[in-house]
Structure 1
């Protein structure tokens, strides 16, 4: 328990928090989390992905409608300002496609996706991979963070989090890990474990 508390104190900032997203069970923050998961899905550093998410938000594209109203070049420019340059053009394209997809499929509200998943985390992962550029890794990132506001996802620890648990000398069984902190802190613990696992 003490080790988990120390880990939370040192590394317990979620990636959403770092990106300036106050996560809530509402359309806009959930969409911003989806954008962050998209940015984190590429082979680029988490710091650059988080910076890109912040820049897109500063540009005013915090909702699917706002993203649809931006141009491909405007998105490329914003990603460039955040130094997210290796995948800026393809990511700009996919963000536009995803904004259309979420409108067509879920009327701009990812809570409808949660309703479709019907309490099944694996179903939610599959639904997330229907979005452009969101593969299994991006789906896991989204679920790992979304458990902060969707209790039915708890406990959610993907392979990266479990690798971090092993490195930190903590249990690698999700149910045992879940007993170390209160439910609302599980997203923070998962993020802390991922960060611990990335340390050399």
Structure 2
């Protein structure tokens, strides 16, 4: 069996067991439209904190259920409404600070880009590094948050695909996959599966012993 065949087995296990994007988990029907793109930005903000991804996703779902699906509805919600929604998702360590950031984030998006992240992309000229830099202007979105957003948005923004940040590449190495963007992109086969693979690798990197389980499952499938 060639190295490529064994890598395909590992990728197959990752996609099968852990290959759901965080946007999908949060109930976001991702499309190149203002509302779902904004929801992804909110999710990236929540995932950026030192808190479990499960809690961040739950908090995002609570915010969306409370009607905070657009920057205008987020801005119109009271600070306490946002705190309460975050609390229902058990996002309690950072709820007050995050409520403030989400309000400021919505204000910036409305004031600078008319509530439409596609305008941010246009301002960047489609350059991925520039998009990443502009994203970090949002409160709560640092380099980590920008990477999270770009990993997922590449499904609907072909300008940024393929997007693989250092955290994903390091996680790939832990399961025996190449640490290079080119080979991983080829193994995934599409932007959607690359986003799924990235999410799977991040999940595996956060769960002790899971990398060994993935490698064992891949070997047993041969």
Q: TM-score, normalised by structure 1?
A: 0.97
Quick check: 129-138 or 152-161, which moved more? Answer: 152-161
Give SS of 2:51's match.
Answer: coil
Give SS of 2:30's match.
Answer: coil
The 5 A counterparts of 1:28-177 are 28-177=35-184
Q: In 1, distance between residues paired with 2:182 and 2:126?
A: 17
Q: In 1, distance between residues paired with 2:113 and 2:24?
A: 25
Structure 2: stretches of 5+ with no match in the other structure = 1-7, 209-222
1:193 aligns with 2:201: yes
**Equivalent pair of 1:164/1:198 in contact (CA under 8 Å):** no
- CA drift at 1:127: 0.3
Q: In 2, distance between residues paired with 1:177 and 1:137?
A: 20
Bigger radius of gyration, 1 or 2?
Answer: 2
- Any idea what the Cα deviations from partners look like across 1:128-165, whole Å, max 9, x if unmatched? 00001110000100001111111121111112211210
How many residues of Structure 1 are paired with residues of Structure 2 in the alignment?
Answer: 200
Q: TM-score, normalised by structure 2?
A: 0.88
CA root-mean-square deviation: 0.9
**Equivalent pair of 1:55/1:81 in contact (CA under 8 Å):** yes
Partner of 2:212 in structure 1? none
